[in-house]
Amino acid sequence: MERFTDRRVLITGAGSGIGRATVHRILGEGGRVVAADINQDGLAETAKQAAANGNGDRLSTVAINIGDEDSVKAGVASAVETLGGLDALVNAAGILRSAHTHEMPLADFNTIITVNLTGTFLMIRESLPALLESGKGVIVNFTSTSAFFAHPYMTAYAASKGGIMSMTHALAAEYGKQGLRVVAVAPGSISSDMTDGKGPGLPADADFTLFTKLMPILGQGFASPDTVAGVVAMLASDDGAFITGTEIRIDGGTHQ
């Protein structure tokens, strides 16, 4: 498939996990991509892999700290200039921290909200002029299954992802008449740097019986990031032309 021929895409969180998988998927379908991440070593590895796949000529990278307004302003401007415009924004960047809520420092709570929720807002705000000018702009946001049902020890993360989901609906209504689509994906049970091993940083005394309802019913364990990348590519392409103001759960039937 060449669904992204002549389409220009900016992807955050592109230095690892789902963001990296999405970069490779869209490059593989003919797109031109700017990969963004705070982790420049991760971006270099993404670029190295793209070159090995024969797609390096259509990939550029830019360092962006999505929780910093000045970094976002400069990074998005650079990406739009590099691409000569923008047709799709994929907001895959985010962080996950876990703790007993009564023990969580305010600074940690605010950091999660700043990166996940405020960072998504900043990327959208700075990208909107170019996306609207495109006339076929698409924003794909990342919410989470934690926005739908309980994920123990993750109140701050759940709050940030619930905010992203609500923001997705509001944006779709506000800009729909101008041709902009805004959708969200809600991954769950996906293997990535964020979730593998002790990625979530669960408390040492975490009660794992609280997680029994968070396992996928398909029985295959955690899925690969490619599982999400394929759905993102569909939503950001013309195949998703009649999808906006909603979210798609990608979780193997978790919590049915």
Within a 10 A sphere around the Cβ of 54, how many other Cβ atoms? 10
* DSSP 3-state of 141: strand
pLDDT at 254: 81
Active-site annotation holder among 37, 157, 164, 251: 157
| Domain coordinates in residue numbering, the chain | 8-250
Q: What pLDDT was estimated at residue 197?
A: 47
Is the pTM above the cut of 0.85?
yes
96 closest CA partner among 12, 142, 17, 157: 157
Burial (CB count <10 Å: 0-12, 13-18, 19+), residue 132? middle
Catalytic residue list contains 153:
no
Residues of the chain with pLDDT under 50: 197-199
pLDDT at 55: 97
Cα–Cα distance for residue pair 256/192, rounded to 1 Å:
23
With contact defined as beta carbons under 8 Å apart, do 72 and 127 qualify? no
Tens digit of each residue's pLDDT (9 = 90 or more) over 66-117: 999 999 999 999 999 999 999 999 999 999 989 999 999 999 999 999 999 9
Q: Please, are residues 176 and 139 in contact by the beta-carbon 8 Å criterion? A: no
**So what's the pLDDT on residue 219?**
62
**C-alpha distances in Å from residue 256, one per residue of 146, 147, 217:** 14, 15, 8
DSSP label at residue 224: P
- Classified as helix, coil or strand, 186 is strand
Per-residue confidence (pLDDT) for residue 196, from 0 to 100: 53
The CATH number of 8-250 is which of 3.50.50.60, 3.40.50.720, 3.90.1150.10, 3.40.50.300? 3.40.50.720
Residue type, 167: M
